């Protein structure tokens, strides 16, 4: 059966990965992480689309454009995780699986990072595993879509 692509959404400042606070976020670039996720999904015959934006409305528009077309969403919302209710509401109107993804473990950091407004509308969250999280998120999505032997 043909499945729609998976959409990876990357929020603010993630375009700076590789240069930005490498002690927290690592030295790999966003392109590296996109390539990791793309390779895992390709193993299940699923394509990947990616959008990075520093603007909440762009991400909301992308979620709207995913409705009825995209099979699953993986989202690292960056700091929008903690307050962007517009993204929460857009994701709530998406029908397929949603994986919330973070390089760091926000729950082990400053108190303001302990709240996620995305978590209540996500199928599940992968956080704290650095770049390996992109592969883990891909495996989770393949399982949710029935494209993995381990699901």
Binding residue for ligand DQA, selected from 44, 96, 97, 106, defined by CB under 6 A: 106
Judge whether 102 counts as a catalytic residue: yes
Tell me the per-residue interface mask from 107 to 126 with ligand DQA, x by CB under 6 A, - otherwise.
Answer: ------x-------------
Binding residue for ligand DQA, selected from 10, 81, 84, 87, defined by CB under 6 A: 81
Q: Is there binding between residue 96 and ligand DQA (CB under 6 A)?
A: no
**Cross-sheet strand order for the sheet of 48-52:** 48-52, 6-10, 72-76, 98-102, 124-127
Q: How far apart are alpha carbons 59 and 25 in whole angstroms?
A: 21
List of residues contacting ligand DQA (CB under 6 A):
13, 76, 78-79, 81, 102-104, 106, 113
């Amino acid at each position: 059966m043909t499945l729609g692509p998976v959409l990876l959404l990357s929020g603010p400042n993630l375009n700076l990965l590789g240069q930005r606070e490498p002690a927290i976020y690592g030295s790999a670039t966003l392109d590296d992480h996109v390539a990791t996720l793309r390779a895992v999904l390709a193993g299940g015959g699923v394509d990947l689309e990616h959008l990075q934006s520093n603007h909440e409305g762009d991400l909301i528009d992308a979620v709207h454009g995913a409705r009825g077309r995209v099979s699953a969403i993986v989202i690292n919302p960056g700091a929008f995780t903690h307050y962007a209710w517009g993204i929460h509401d857009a994701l709530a109107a998406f029908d397929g699986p949603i994986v919330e993804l973070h390089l760091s473990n926000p729950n082990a950091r400053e108190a303001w990072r302990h709240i996620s407004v995305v978590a209540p509308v996500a199928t599940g969250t992968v956080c704290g595993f650095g770049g390996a999280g992109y592969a883990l998120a891909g495996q989770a999505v393949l399982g949710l879509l029935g494209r993995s032997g381990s699901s």
